[in-house]
Amino acid sequence: MSVASHPVEAVALTGRALAPARGARIASACGLVGLVGVVLTVWLGLWVTPPDAYMGNLVRLLYIHPSMAWDAFLAYGVSFLASAAYLWPRTRDLRLDRVAGASAEAGVVFTGITLVTGSLWGRPTWGVWWTWDPLLTTTALLFVLYLGYLALRRLPGEPEVRARRSAIAALVAFIDVPIVYFSVSWWRSLHQGPTIQPGRSEVHGSMAWTLLLSFVAFSLVYVWMLAERYRLAGLQARDEVEGLADALAERRAEAGMSRAGEAS
Amino acid sequence: MPPAVVFIEAVVLAGRFPLLSGLSLEVATGEVVHLRGANGAGKTSLLRACAGLLPIASGRAEVLGHDLLVDRVSLRRAVGLLGHAGFHYEELSVRDNLRFALRASRAPLERAGPALERLGLTGRLLDTPVGACSAGQRRRLALAVLVARAPRLWLLDEPHAGLDAEARATVDALVAEARVGGATVLLASHELERAAAIADRSVEIAGGRVVPAATDSAEVGCDVA
Amino acid sequence: MWRDALLVAGKDLRVEWRSRVGLNQVVPFALAVLLLFGLALGPDAARLRAATSGLFWVTVLLAALLGVQRSFALESADRAGDGLRLSGLDAGGIFVGKAAALGFQLLVLEAVLALVAALLYGTPLEGVGVLAASCVLATAGLAAVGTFYGALAAGTRVRETLLPLLFFPVVAPVLLAATKAWSAALGRSGGGGVGWLALLAVFAAAYVAIGTVAFGPLLEDS
């Protein structure tokens, strides 16, 4: 077991090389700046920016809802790219699998927040908690699709097997997204139902800046969450590898035991 | 002739449990090797790994010249595994199961008849669904599939289990014939004397590895041989 | 590959012919679901008629789930799936074969269900060409996704619960498109039938292609 290209050994190496000081520092910096940005966004969004002519104070959801949705799609995009790269033989690496899993988890959290804030926003502006808008419907389906993906990831198994299975599932889930979006939009356009448009509001001045800040701040928070979750997954993988060495030793020791049993 | 099976420090994992924990074994072409060991020692896992059913986590494993780390699929038509399960469809008849197995592995269908006869599967039994067959009859069917496929490497997991005296003698004869035909046989068995009588040598497996044979019983085996 | 696909499809259909699990269990189950929908939404005839296409396709989806589970239960009994792998069959062929057998059984089921739904909900079957075409295309998509996830879930210990969670969200577009195509054919909504058929065709083509390519690694993992 001395060849470094053994998968078992490779996991150990990547596990050890996982938290190089620089990467960790960058991630922490992202987190810090992001959190400061979030605090600023809250302050600007709740106190500094003016209420909207149409929506009044409800417009303040503008500083959280769109950036959450953006984060969710960004997270799924990263997860998809990492999965695709894992399946590509030349770039196959368990670290990519960890990125895919970590990003999908963040994506599910952001999707959940997007749906809740969207619903809170929709009730007073459109008069309904939910509407079968293409974007909304696609987001809700994405939410359940990726809950399924995470359930699949949580199943026990050999890391390589789990990684390949998850990557294939992620790809299959992801190509469903445009099909869903297209079909739902078309469905809506055919049914000339009461499509409810939010009152057109001008976004300018302090509002625009706050909106921009919210995007930057929450994106940085996403990067930080991703990095932390990835680091944790690396530590778990290292535990598994250390556990493996013990398991191998234990298994080999069975030989002595059975011999002793025969002798007695 | 290159060896039929070469395992070097092979590790096979089921989740985190090492089924094989660094097993090394070399089997020459045409050899009949008896695998011995307690329950859970890793005999079945070794046979399944040889059939390309289990992924090799580390080490080296070559079977009939196929590197199992690279490709576990291409060798499968050349090996035959008699496992604990029969790989049958309960709803299909004995004959249909055999015909499907032969078609799937691209073996000539004409071999079906003689193989069934050889294992004593005749008459009404041929049209009985496998689900309604006894354990011994299912075992005979699995053996008939193997005979008809005539693989280059026979992997037999407890081939005598559940068979009557006549069928057990047939198994011994089949192994001898396979060997004459140039095939290699790996056979896991707890029936030490019976297996020793048909094997060229025996290998002791414990804790997922090959261990040096406990001298006393090994010599008993040789004496019988 | 095609030869392997035919062989596997023939085997699956033969097993169904001998066991009649689909006929004796899945078909009655689907009929029961249609009745339950009637109880939930009826007895208002207009409402039932308006909902016919949706109820029909939800029922088909539920039955398809059972079909997938049955299709892979066959392979796990007596480890027959290992037998398939051991015989060196082409993985893409196994996928196409199992999906084809499943799709064929679903089509038969749909024919029965369509007649019963028409009777129960008082909906005359019009535009039979579009109805049949959408059945064929939607079933191809359902069978492909179902076979793919069936194999994925079959290797795990939680297959009964995992399969529906993975299967239903992905086939949401099939439900939508097939329902709309049916509504258009039955004259319940204005046009668009052919467009929905095209969408079903794209879905089916995408998943048949992916399944054929990705089935090998999936099969080897279980």
- Give me the DSSP letters along C15-81: HHHHH-HIIIIIHHHHHHHHHHHHHHH-S-HHHHHHHHHHHHHHHHHHHHHHHHHHHHHHHHGGGHH
B107 vs C222 pLDDT, higher one? B107
**C-alpha pair distances (Å), C65 with each of B3, C115, C160, C165:** 47, 21, 10, 11
Average pLDDT over residues B17-30: 91
**C-alpha pair distances (Å), A36 with each of A30, A33, A42, A220:** 10, 5, 10, 10
Residue C83 has pLDDT above 90, yes or no: no
**Residue A191: predicted pLDDT:** 52
- How far apart, in whole angstroms, are the C-alpha atoms of residue B24 and residue B6? 7
Residue C76 has pLDDT above 80, yes or no: yes
Say yes or no for a CB contact (<8 Å) between B38 and A258.
Answer: yes
Average pLDDT over residues C196-206: 92
Residue B126 has pLDDT above 80, yes or no: yes
Question: pLDDT, tens digit, for every residue of A185-214?
Answer: 877 765 544 444 444 455 667 777 888 888
- How far apart, in whole angstroms, are the C-alpha atoms of residue B142 and residue B94? 10
**Residue C174: predicted pLDDT:** 94
Mean pLDDT of all residues in chain A? 78
A-interface mutation test, from C95, C160, C170, C219, most A Cβ less than 10 A away: C170
- How far apart, in whole angstroms, are the C-alpha atoms of residue B31 and residue B179? 7
**Residue A204: predicted pLDDT:** 67
- Chain B interface with C: residues with Cβ < 8 Å: 51, 53, 55, 72-74, 76-77, 79-81, 83, 85-92, 96, 100-101, 103-106, 129-130
Which chains reach chain A with 3 or more Cβ–Cβ distances below 8 angstroms?
Answer: B, C
Residue B157 has pLDDT above 80, yes or no: yes
- How far apart, in whole angstroms, are the C-alpha atoms of residue A123 and residue A130? 8
Tell me the two tokens of residue B107.
């073996």
The reply to whether A179 touches chain C by the CB within 8 Å rule is yes
- How far apart, in whole angstroms, are the C-alpha atoms of residue A100 and residue C59? 35
Task: Name the phi and psi angles at B199, rounded to 5.
Answer: -95, 150
Listed by number, the residues of chain A in 97-126 with a beta carbon closer than 8 Å to a beta carbon of chain B are: none
**% residues pLDDT > 90 (chain A):** 16
Question: pLDDT, tens digit, for every residue of B80-95?
Answer: 999 888 889 989 999 9
Residue C155 has pLDDT above 90, yes or no: no
**Residue A11: predicted pLDDT:** 43
Say yes or no for a CB contact (<8 Å) between C83 and B76.
Answer: no
Residue A24 has pLDDT above 80, yes or no: no
C188 contact residues in A (CB cutoff 8 A): none
Which of A178-182, C12-16, C176-180, C189-193 shows the lowest per-residue confidence on average (mean pLDDT)?
C189-193
Choose from A168-182, A212-226, C196-210 the range with maximum mean pLDDT. Answer: C196-210
**Residue A258: predicted pLDDT:** 55
Mean pLDDT of all residues in chain B? 87
- How far apart, in whole angstroms, are the C-alpha atoms of residue B92 and residue C14? 8
Nearest Cα of chain C lies from the Cα of A84 at a distance, in angstroms, of 13
- How far apart, in whole angstroms, are the C-alpha atoms of residue B176 and residue B167? 14
* pLDDT band (50, 70, 90) for residue A259: low
Q: Number of structural domains, chain C?
A: 1
A130 vs B140 pLDDT, higher one? B140
Say yes or no for a CB contact (<8 Å) between B105 and C88.
Answer: yes
Q: How many residues does chain A have?
A: 264
**Residue A122: predicted pLDDT:** 79
Q: Which domain holds residue C34?
A: 2-221
Nearest CA in chain A to B210: A255
Say which of A147, A165, A190 has its CB closest to residue C192. A190
Nearest Cα of chain C lies from the Cα of A236 at a distance, in angstroms, of 21
Cis status of the peptide bond prior to C43, with omega within 30 of 0: yes
* pLDDT band (50, 70, 90) for residue A53: low
Helices and strands (H and E) in chain C: how many? 10, 0
Residue C53 has pLDDT above 60, yes or no: yes
CA angle C184–C187–C193, rounded 5-degree value: 15
* pLDDT band (50, 70, 90) for residue B217: very low
Residue B79: closest CA among C86, C78, C89: C86
- Give me the residues paired with residue B93 across strands: B129
Residue C108: closest CA among C168, C176, C22: C22
Say yes or no for a CB contact (<8 Å) between C77 and B90.
Answer: yes
CB contact set of C16 (below 8 Å; sequence gap of 6+): C22, C23, C101, C105
* pLDDT band (50, 70, 90) for residue B194: confident
Report all structural domains of chain B as residue ranges with CATH numbers, in order of start: 5-87+150-219 (3.40.50.300)
**% residues pLDDT > 70 (chain A):** 81
State whether residue A63 is helix, strand or coil: helix
Which of A103-107, A153-157, A163-167 shows the lowest per-residue confidence on average (mean pLDDT)?
A153-157
**Residue B19: predicted pLDDT:** 92
Q: Please, are residues A70 and A219 in contact by the beta-carbon 8 Å criterion?
A: yes
Which of A3-7, A201-205, C49-53 shows the lowest per-residue confidence on average (mean pLDDT)?
A3-7
**Residue C221: predicted pLDDT:** 66
Choose from A10-24, A127-141, A214-228 the range with maximum mean pLDDT. Answer: A214-228
Average pLDDT over residues C179-200: 81
Which of A124-133, A188-197, B158-167, C190-199 shows the lowest per-residue confidence on average (mean pLDDT)?
A188-197
* pLDDT band (50, 70, 90) for residue C126: confident
Residue A18 has pLDDT above 60, yes or no: no
* pLDDT band (50, 70, 90) for residue B220: very low
B101 contact residues in C (CB cutoff 8 A): 83, 87
**Residue A201: predicted pLDDT:** 52
Task: Name the phi and psi angles at B156, rounded to 5.
Answer: -110, 120
Q: How many residues does chain B have?
A: 225
Residue C175: closest CA among C145, C218, C210: C145
Burial A209-241 (b: 16+ CB within 10 A, else e): ebbebbbebbbbbbbbbbbbbbbebbeebbebb
Q: Is A53 left (phi over 0), alpha (psi -120 to 50) or beta?
A: alpha
**Residue B148: predicted pLDDT:** 93
Say yes or no for a CB contact (<8 Å) between B207 and A253.
Answer: yes
Residue A241 has pLDDT above 80, yes or no: no
**Residue B183: predicted pLDDT:** 92
State whether residue B170 is helix, strand or coil: helix
Residue B223 has pLDDT above 50, yes or no: no
CA angle B76–B77–B80, rounded 5-degree value: 75
Average pLDDT over residues C69-91: 87
Nearest Cα of chain A lies from the Cα of C43 at a distance, in angstroms, of 26
Say which of C74, C87, C88 has its CB closest to residue B89. C74
**What is this model's ipTM?**
0.85
